[in-house]
């Protein structure tokens, strides 16, 4: 008798709703250490301009609330109310991927990683799709109401 085992791979994602740009990392766990790795790499990405302040929308995952996570300069946590994942633009990416990947069995983490990459490619190739999914009218109004920061 063969015993089934499970391996896990976690997708961390940040979305810029106005442009459709996104940043993703596949990490082995959903904990404070991996979340800190994600934040560090996000801070180095094209989504974060030098000397800019960028809000990172968070749900109430335990790793997001950990006091142990060091936040890179320029990234600012923005907590969502409890039980409101629909307010997080990145959830739209997850919703699309779940619909595409559900009820499938992958032979290895590598094949799962490849499938995730193929699913994400639609957003990388067509950022306007991500804009349509994530640039909610209330989000657009909030962004447009922020005063410009002139030197």
Per-residue pLDDT of 117-139, as tens digits, reads 999 999 999 999 999 999 988 87
| pLDDT for residue 138 | 81
| pLDDT for residue 80 | 86
Please measure the distance between the N-terminal and C-terminal CA atoms of the chain and give it in whole angstroms.
69
Torsion, Cα 37 38 42 44, to 10 degrees, reads: 20
How confident is the model over 54-112, as pLDDT tens digits? 989 888 777 777 778 899 999 999 888 888 888 888 888 999 999 989 899 888 899 99
Q: How many CB atoms lie within 10 A of CB 14?
A: 23
| pLDDT for residue 148 | 63
d(CA 139, CA 145): 10
Averaged pLDDT, 8-26: 92
| pLDDT for residue 19 | 92
Which of 8-12, 20-24, 59-63, 79-83 is predicted with the least confidence, judged by mean pLDDT? 59-63
Helix residue ranges, H only, 16-126 = 32-44, 62-65, 90-101, 109-125
Q: How many CB atoms lie within 10 A of CB 120?
A: 18
Domain segments of the chain as ranges? 1-101
**What average pLDDT does the structure give for the chain?**
87
At 149, the pLDDT band (50, 70, 90 cuts) reads: low
Tokens for 47, please give them: 């989504």
| pLDDT for residue 11 | 93
So what's the architecture of 1-101 in CATH? 2-Layer Sandwich (3.30)
């Amino acid at each position: 008798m063969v015993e089934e085992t499970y391996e896990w791979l976690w997708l961390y994602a940040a979305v810029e709703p106005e442009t459709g740009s996104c940043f993703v990392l596949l990490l082995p766990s959903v904990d404070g250490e991996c979340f800190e790795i994600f934040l560090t790499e996000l801070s180095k990405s094209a989504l974060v301009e030098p000397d800019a302040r960028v809000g990172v929308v968070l749900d109430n995952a335990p790793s997001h609330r950990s006091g142990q996570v060091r936040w890179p300069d320029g990234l600012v946590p923005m907590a969502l109310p409890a039980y409101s994942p629909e307010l997080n633009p990145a959830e739209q990416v997850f919703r699309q991927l779940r619909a595409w990947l559900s009820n499938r069995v992958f032979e290895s983490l590598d094949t799962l990683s490849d499938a995730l990459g193929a699913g994400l490619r639609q957003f990388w190739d067509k950022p306007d799709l991500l804009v349509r999914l994530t640039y909610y009218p209330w989000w657009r109004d909030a962004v447009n109401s922020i005063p410009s920061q002139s030197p």
